[in-house]
Amino acid sequence: MGWLRDRFRVPSPAPLRDIARHFNEVAPDEQHYPSHIDPRIYHVRLILDFFGDLQGQRVLDVGAGKGRFARVLKERHPGASLYALDLAEAMLAYVPGGIHACAASMTAIPFASSSFDCAYATESLEHAVDIEGAVAEICRVVRPGGRIVVIDKNRRHWGRLQTPPWETWFRRRALERMLARHCASVSSRPVSYWEDVPPDGLFLAWLAIK
């Protein structure tokens, strides 16, 4: 297990039902799990800029929660088809109309291969029970030439935040290599919540083209 511990923080095992129960229970908490996000946040800008024109495109929000990112993408690109996938049905109950909600695990995405033009996972891959399996599934459902964004926490800053026992934080190069198994192009960089605030290392963004 030493090699795995070097790549990621090895979390305490938790079955899917326990993770689903947790997020179903906290769904009413709007303070910590809001239904909306400020569209000026750089995480949103990065996704919009990297994906480009989404007119007529199918986009998957993996681990969407209440669909706060999908809401902004749909507002900016009303001609896109947005799909919000999450394990917790209580979270999906907040997803706004016009966005397709799907209750499922990111390690078993119930869509055909190459059925999406773009996919993104914002602070959600950290909750997967099988990281490699989740990355493979995200890449599988995106068409060749499609785009993928993962935004999540940096393993080097583990301990800065209180986390559930199953949560995983990532080393930059390790997740790059994992995406590169399925994608033609992969890059990564530190990001901040706000464009005018320099990144402090907590968040990393991985950008891939399949």
* Domains of the chain and any CATH numbers: 2-209 (3.40.50.150)
Tens of pLDDT along 58-104? 999 999 999 999 999 999 999 999 999 999 999 999 999 999 999 99
Residue 2: per-residue pLDDT: 38
**Sorting pLDDT into bands at 50, 70 and 90, what band is 11?**
low
Q: Report the distance separating Cα 184 and Cα 44, nearest Å.
A: 24
Whole-number Å distance between alpha carbons of 2 and 65: 32
**Both tokens of residue 13?**
């095992």
The pLDDT score that the predictor gives to residue 6 is: 43
Cβ pair 92, 67 in contact under 8 A:
yes
Alpha-carbon 42 to chain mean position: 15
Distance of alpha carbon 68 from alpha carbon 91, whole angstroms: 11
Residues ≥6 apart with Cβ < 8 Å to 18: 166
Confidence (pTM): 0.91
Mean pLDDT of the residues in the chain: 92
